[in-house]
Amino acid sequence: NSKSKIIEIGCGIGGIISYFHDKGLSTKGIDINLNDINFGKNKGLNLHHQMVEDLPDNEKYDLVILMRSLEHIHNPRFFLNQIIKKLNKNGLLFVSVPSLDSLLHSSDPKKVNIFKQLHFAHVYFFSKQSLSNLMASVGFSDVYMNHYINSIWQKKNLQLNLVTQKQ
């Protein structure tokens, strides 16, 4: 939808949000790394040095993106409670986290690198089940989730006609 409002939380330099910006959508990115924010701003992106709880109460989004961010958050339940308040009624949340389920999964076992997934900066490690439990505890239901935990969530009790096949 050309009127969609999109925010990426933990946007870094804005690589993902730039795709939507270039399509003419209303975009915003937030991150705590000021150097990354300044780099993205110099590229013309709407990036801000702030945390999700500092977003104005009246800001609502149709899509919230958490690309490899949630595993770095010390209090994910509080964090997700802040995010659900920022979603429009039919808004969606995209979450991608490293997957414990796919930790040893590879078509070439010689390429498995367990240390790449078990990074020191990751406060939490998620399986599909543990992420589903966390998300349900704050009021989300899953629309889609694959083995690698690229997932789409909506507020509970909404029925959206999107991809519903689970892998």
**pLDDT tens, position by position, 134-148:** 999 999 999 999 988
**Cα 122 from Cα 136, distance rounded (Å):** 21
Confidence of residue 122 (pLDDT cuts 50, 70, 90): low
For residue 102, the model assigns a pLDDT of: 65
Q: Is the pLDDT of residue 167 over 50?
A: no
For residue 147, the model assigns a pLDDT of: 83
**Cα 53 from Cα 59, distance rounded (Å):** 11
Confidence of residue 165 (pLDDT cuts 50, 70, 90): very low
CA dihedral for 131, 87, 157, 20, sign (positive or negative): negative
The lowest-confidence range among 19-28, 59-68, 128-137, 152-161 is 152-161
Contacts of residues 71-80 at CB distance under 8 Å and 24 or more positions apart, as own/partner, are: 71/97, 71/98, 71/122, 71/123, 71/124, 71/125, 71/126, 72/10, 72/121, 72/122, 72/123, 73/123, 73/124, 74/123, 76/124, 76/134, 77/134, 77/137, 77/138, 79/52, 80/134, 80/135, 80/138, 80/140
Which carries the bigger pLDDT value, residue 7 or residue 108?
7
Region 114-132 average pLDDT: 76
